[in-house]
Amino acid sequence: MQTTLIILKPDAVQRGVMGEIITRFERKGLQIVGCKMMRISQDLAATHYEAHKSKPFYDGLVRFMTSSPVLVMAIRGVGVIEISRKMMGATFGSKAEPGTIRGDFGVSNSYNLIHGSDSPEAAARELELFFGKDEVTEFSRSIDGWVYDLSSGAPE
């Protein structure tokens, strides 16, 4: 099992599509183990996006991410990082395939609705930035036997 960070960005919050996006993750069988609405501070945005600091879009990205509340989620599942990135679609809404979150809800190349960690290392770092020690909950679900083949004793 992996856990990843998902952020529903200010445009997803302002457009009222949070519920539809959350539903996609739940219908896929992924488990939401942490969730909170927050306003990202300048310092947190700068830390989160520090890898992009030298890029021309950095200032606009920080300004956008601090402009309105976001919904941050910790989502768990087998292969959740790869699965959630496929569900999100291409970075630019104008290029994202229909059926993906960005393909179905986005057209902008700047406002792209959602962030998801791109590796286990990034997920660990990002989850620590956005969630305190007791804000990600460990719990078993009775549906896991219907989401994953557990016949070998471990989720496929």
Phi and psi based region of residue 59 (left: phi greater than 0; alpha: psi -120 to 50; beta: remaining): alpha
How far is the C-alpha of 46 from the C-alpha of 74, rounded, in Å? 20
Active site residue 115: yes
Report the 3 state secondary structure along 94-127.
CCCCCCCHHHHHCCCCCCCCEEECCCHHHHHHHH
Choice among 4, 115, 126, 131 that is catalytic: 115
Which residues are known to be catalytic? 115
